[in-house]
Amino acid sequence: MSTTQNLSIQFYAPDGTPIPPTVSREHLLDLARSVYARAGTHLDRGDVDIELAEVADKAACSLLRDRWNDDFPIAAYVELLTAVAALRAVLGFAPTPTAREVTEWSEKLGEDLGGEIDGPTSTSFIRFVNGPYRGAVLRVPGAAGQGPAAVLTLPIIWGDTADPGHGQARYERYTEAADEGLWLYRLDGDVREDARPHIVPATNSQAGA
């Protein structure tokens, strides 16, 4: 049995409504930093935002890579994305997507790409071998008998999430035929080294833009 005393004091509004205790945001950030320190990563308070955003980006791309494998356990990615989104909400950072929103984003992207094709379409699977979306696998439509588009552009983001920069990463198809069912894409041109995927819910006007 714990003998630790609860030293919090309950305050009440004039009408008798309990007032939730105020917790310092700096204290919450320090708690998060202490956990990272236990893992050997030492962060300043200003680094926590980007660190968590990058974790979400990696989990999102891993989910998009492995969700097509029936025998691969993707529960860890699903739960990790939710946990990071919840922690960011507690810390007051800009939101990152849940697994459901990552999936909705990829489906909306496919719908938008399909709307640009005249004539019959066929479904293709594509994988990005480098750049911000490295490892991600998407299901996209292509012109029947021709495969997916020769060039695709995907949204990217960089910098602090409170005031980020926005842009696009241009990818080119560089295989003549699908290898084991996958068409491979690589960056066509340079992007910032700190660029990250900008995966947003499909209800957001920037999805797939």
Per-residue pLDDT reduced to its tens digit, 10-48: 667 778 787 776 778 899 999 999 999 999 999 999 999
- Angstrom distance (rounded) from CA 2 to CA 114: 60
Which tokens sit at 175?
């295989």
> Using only C-alpha atoms, what is the Rg of the chain?
21
Which tokens sit at 173?
């198809």
Whole-model pTM over 0.85:
no
Per-residue pLDDT reduced to its tens digit, 58-107: 999 999 999 887 777 788 999 999 999 999 999 999 999 999 999 999 99
Q: What is the DSSP track for 153-202?
A: EEEEEES-TTS-EEEEEEEEE--SS-BTTEEEEEESS---TT-EE----T
- Dihedrals phi, psi of 156, to nearest 5 degrees: -130, 165
Per-residue pLDDT reduced to its tens digit, 150-192: 999 999 999 988 889 999 999 999 987 777 778 999 999 999 9
- Angstrom distance (rounded) from CA 75 to CA 58: 15
